[in-house]
Amino acid sequence: MDGRLLKQKVIAGDVVYGTMISMSRSPRWVTPFEGFGLDFVIIDSEHSPIGRGEMANLLVSFGSSNLVPIVRVPIPDSHYVTMALDAGAQGVLVPYIETAEEVKDVLAAARWRPLKGILARKAVETGELPSQATRSYLESKNQNNVVIIGIESVPAIDALPDILDVGGMDAVFVGPNDLSISLGIPDQYDHPDYEAALRTVILICRKNNIFVIEDAAEVIGLKYKDKKCGSFGDISTFSFYANKQITTGEGGMISVNKFDLYNKCKSLRNLCFGKLNRFNHEDIGWNYRMTNIQAALGLSQIKNINKIVKKKIMIGRQYYKNLKLNKNLTILPPSISYSKNIYWVVGILIKNKKIKSSLLAIKLRKFGIMTRPFFWPMHEQQIFKKMKLFKKSKFPNSSYLARYGLYLPSYYNLNNKQIDYISSVVNNILK
């Protein structure tokens, strides 16, 4: 894939997947990223020590793959944009844009290089070029260049309508940490002012036909600010895995707010069979069809979703009541300022490294109590160790959660007597 095809997929309403590399400098990332089915990778040169030479090496590696390499440049400067593209990038993420004038400089470098100065600026502002031959040459040369604009401050949000009016950009990126600092509420992502700022960005983006995709895999029945989770995005995704509020064993659901998106998703999940000739496929799709038995199982639960959610909340609150006073563990409360906990799972975190969760699980099993550990962190995965990735990486929070986090039983038919018994055993072990 190249930048041009990536943009075409987005315009067509397809979902594209990507990730960002900040600290690692290893070109061996290409293999696992391709295996994950990613479409693009962003190489971060703003918040990392990656030098120009290392950047070029990474771009060569990703350039020979099916991934579209995009560089987050250090500052909103046309010279850095040109440098990244000349090194082999097929796009740029430009951070901390605050004015339409900055966007024009970026677009001049990304869309019309090697044209520079007054002529490049004129091309952006008026569309005027020295000749039709020059236009054809530059459009062909720069057709793969993806331009992503970073919106990370209050002035940027205020100027966003003017920024988008410039046109020519492919996506908008919101930097949550910088934005919260600019709002005067550092890292307070539940603050009303932060929520209002995001809503403003979403509203403006929607007016400019930019999609919002919501991951609602674990929040069936949950509300955020009295609005149902799964209703915020143009596309919202849900999971029906075995431990979710509604389960079909495997599989999931996509909800959309437009008929064209509905038809596209419906086609993609069923191999994109042709309308006139079934076996003359219109596009590349997948076999994501759910069996009739699975569908019937899911539909029967959807009818009772309010009852299911109510019961899960009851289970979680009973655990919280029983365990909240234990000074050797942490359990999430029933509610916070902006949302209520629906306890699709009930997790505890052991404090002060009293014992590891693996040992706690063994002790609980002796009492007939089955548990599940937290996910193991990516930087400690065996496959990546074999590939010599994350060699010097340290993520202490992820490591701590993996070793001291544990999910307690929370299946639907669990009763108060059983919850009290499990809680009593946990309290006795962690006293």
Give the chain's count of helices (H) and strands (E): 17, 17
Q: Read off the amino acid at residue 154.
A: V
> Which H or E element spans position 105?
helix 100-112
The values of phi and psi at residue 146, to 5°, are: -95, 135
d(CA 343, CA 368): 22
d(CA 426, CA 420): 10
For the residues of 245-290, what is the DSSP string, one character each? SS--BS-EEEEESSHHHHHHHHHHTBTT--SSSTTS-SS---B-PP
Q: Which residue in 318, 159, 297 sits closest to 240, CA to CA?
A: 297
Residues 6+ apart with CB under 8 A from 286: 268, 269, 271
**CA diameter of the chain:** 82
Q: Which residue in 60, 17, 23 sits closest to 35, CA to CA?
A: 17
Q: Which residue in 375, 411, 424 sits closest to 395, CA to CA?
A: 375
Decide if 211 contacts 236 (C-beta within 8 A).
no
d(CA 179, CA 151): 8
Residue from 47, 79, 191, 281 carrying the catalytic annotation: 47
Judging by beta carbons within 10 Å of its beta carbon (0-12, 13-18, 19+), is residue 83 exposed, middle or buried? buried
d(CA 112, CA 372): 55
Annotated active-site residue 47? The verdict is yes
Any idea which residues carry the catalytic annotation?
A: 47
